[in-house]
Amino acid sequence: MTLLQVNSLTTGHNGVAVVHDVNLMVESGEVVALLGANGAGKTTLLHTIAGLLPAINGTVFFNDRPVTGLSTHQIVRQGLSLLPENRGIFYQLTVAENLRLYKRQGGAVKVEEVFEYFPALKPLVERKAGLLSGVEQQMLSLGCRFIADPKLMLIDEMSLGLAPIIFQRMLPVLTQFAADRGVGVLLVEQHVHLALKSSSRAYVLNRGELTFSGTANALQNQRQFLESNYMGSTKQRE
């Protein structure tokens, strides 16, 4: 089932286009990597899909419904969850309070199920999020998105502030959750090869334009292409 369909989307800031004529899709239960150098337009694209930025042209369909022009609140109510670069947790609240805050009324995911995905969080349930380590905070951030019982997750730089080996250990948890729940994931990530190992398909943005759309395996074999798309000017806003 197609959860996200982006058709000929052009978007940017204050009416100035940064992303041009993008077409992409995410299916139920799959992780899709969205790759590109800093300034390629990845975050701008995510924010437009989530309703944080208006589209200049094109259409976004979520769960077979057009959501272009809807507010973020309206799109979230339909089952979208965004994990931003800053992790999006409340640092003055405890682990338990953060999870309760994100839990969707009537949602199927329970607190104990979050602890099954992240056992290290269970003994920290009464600790304030601001006192957690970086990896514990990222676990909590993902756990908050899990408990929201989403249909689609947009994840922006999950590895930020984490050692590559820690990020590598967290990716299978994300892919398992997606498979277990039929959740689609659009993953923006700078750790290219780690992201591709956990993704079924991939897109590459270069200066606001899609330069690759295909399987993750096919992209992994194109080292020269990847290097060329991660070099050069990054003057455009991310």
Q: Inform me whether the pLDDT recorded for 238 exceeds 60.
A: no
- What is the maximum alpha-carbon separation in the chain? 48
User: How far apart are the C-alpha atoms of 54 and 16, rounded to whole Å?
Assistant: 11
CB 236 within 8 A of CB 41: yes
Residue with token string 């991660």: 230
Q: What would the pLDDT profile of 42-86 be if each residue is shown by its tens digit?
A: 999 999 999 999 999 999 999 999 999 999 999 999 999 999 888
Residue boundaries of the structural domains of the chain = 2-79+150-229, 90-149
**What fold characterizes domain 2-79+150-229?**
Rossmann fold (3.40.50)
Which range has the worst mean pLDDT, 24-33, 142-151, 161-170, 226-235? 226-235
Structure tokens at 120: 């290290």
